Amino acid sequence: MRTKNTVIRVIITALVVAVLLAGCTKKETAKTSQPAGALRVNVSEARIGTVKKTITYSGVLRGIREVPIAPGMSSWINKILVKEGQKVKKGQLLAKLSPEQMEQAKAQLDALEKNYQRMKRLYEKGAITQSQFDQIEASYLAAKAGYQLASKNTRLRAPFDGIVAEVNTQEGQFFNAMMGFSSAPSVLTLVDISKVKLEVEVSDRDVALISPGQEVMLKVDAFPETTFTGKVENVDEIADPRTGTYTVKIIIDNPKEILKSGMYASAKIVIDKAESVVVIPTDALVNDTLVYIA
C-alpha cells in the first residue's frame, strides 16, 4: 500500500512540473513573437538642413601654375642646384649654365660701347651725320640687349614659390633652345599647388546650368573620406569643335598641399540648392510601398 501511494505522489509531482513548464514557454513565446507581416524599422529624426542639386563630372587635378623652366638660348648645363620634390622660393637659383656665351656677349658689348662713346662725341661736334650715329647707336643697343639676355639665361631662377616637379636634364648636358632635350623641352618643371585646378568637359545640355562662382564638392581616391570644396572659375563660351563639349575650370584651395597634380577627382557641381528645409535620410524612403516616412 505504501509503495502504491509513493508512485501516485511521483506521478502527480511530474504532472505539476510539466504544467508549469508549459506555462512559462507560452509566456516567453508571447513576449518574443511578432504579428505576421510586421516590419522592423529604424527611427531617424527629421531635421532642418540644405538640399543641393548637383551634376557630376570628373578629371585630373593640376597645379594652379605648372611652368617649364628653360633658358632662352642654347647652352651647356653646368650645375643643377635642386632635386625633384624640393620646395623653392621665388628668385631662388635653380641651375647654372655655361657662362661662355655671356662672356662673349660682354666682350662684344665693351667694344661697341667704346666705339659708341667715341662716335657720340664726333656727332656732337658735327663730324658725322645723324644717319651714321643712328647705325652705331643701334649696334650698341643690340649688343647691350644680347648681353642682358645671355646674363639672364646663364642662371635659371624660380619665377614663383613652388615645388620642383621634374628635373629633365643632368649636369654636362647641352640644351638646344630651339629643340630642347630629346626627352623634354625644358631643364625642369616648377609647379604651384597652393591651389589646384580641375578642368572638366561639360555637355551642351549641362553647360547652361553652370556659371562662375558655383560651389563644387570634390572627392579623390587618395582621401576617400574627405570632401574638398572649390568654385567654378570659368566656363568656356565656345565648344571644342572636335568633341562639342565646353571646358569648365574649377579652382580648389589647397593650403596643406595634400592634393597633388595628376590626382583623379570626381566633382559635383552644385547647380541649385534649397535652404532651411526638412531633411530626412534617403534610407527612410520606402519606394516599394509608396510610403514616405519622416
pLDDT, mean of each 10-residue run, the chain (294 residues): 47 47 47 55 70 91 94 88 96 91 84 89 88 90 86 89 92 79 76 97 94 96 94 96 96 95 95 73 58 43
Largest Cα–Cα distance in the chain? Answer: 166
Q: Does residue 259 form part of some domain? A: yes
Same domain, 102 and 241: no
User: Domain boundary at 146, 167, 186, which?
Assistant: 186
What pLDDT does residue 36 have? 57
What pLDDT does residue 39 have? 60
Q: Are strands 75-80 and 174-175 parallel, antiparallel or unpaired?
A: antiparallel
User: Domain boundary at 158, 186, 214, which?
Assistant: 186
Domain that holds residue 239: 49-64+194-292
- C-alpha grid cell, residue 163: 615645388
Same domain, 228 and 205: yes
What pLDDT does residue 107 have? 87
Same domain, 82 and 128: yes
What pLDDT does residue 101 have? 79
pTM of the model: 0.66
Q: Does residue 25 form part of some domain? A: no
User: Domain boundary at 186, 205, 221, which?
Assistant: 186
In whole angstroms, what is the distance from residue 20 CA to residue 25 CA? Answer: 9
Q: Does residue 31 form part of some domain? A: no
Domain count, the chain: 2
Same domain, 147 and 220: no
- In this structure, are residues 97 and 175 in contact, taking their beta carbons and an 8 Å threshold? yes
